Amino acid sequence: MIFKTVGDGRPYPEHGLGHREWAQIPPRQVRLDTLVTTKAVLDLHSLLAKDSTFYGDLFPHVVQWQGELYLEDGLHRALRAALHQRSVLHARVLELEN
């Protein structure tokens, strides 16, 4: 099993963070098997693209809410880590109040 659960949508409240605010959060290690995805479908072009992180954040975005870790952005990075047989990745984690 790669992820804890494959979800479809964001169950947590809107946080309103933009790229600048996400960049203020220092990355930390997160186990892949603790993540709940917010997307059930992945575009293979994104997964296989050599420059997929060129225009975006180097670190996936994770939202911690009600004891769960939701992978909001960076599904292709997480899958790449799994394909390289890594069980953890560095991600920016936003902790939302319950």
> What pLDDT is recorded for position 85?
94
- pTM of the full structure: 0.87
Nearest to 94 by CA among 55, 76, 68: 68
Note down pLDDT in tens along the chain; length 98 residues: 799 999 989 999 999 999 899 999 999 999 999 999 998 887 777 666 665 555 566 899 999 999 999 999 998 889 889 989 999 999 999 999 87
Structural domains of the chain ordered from first start: 5-10+25-95 (3.90.1530.10)
The Cα-based distances of 36 to 20, 30, 45, 53, 96 in angstroms read: 24, 12, 22, 21, 15
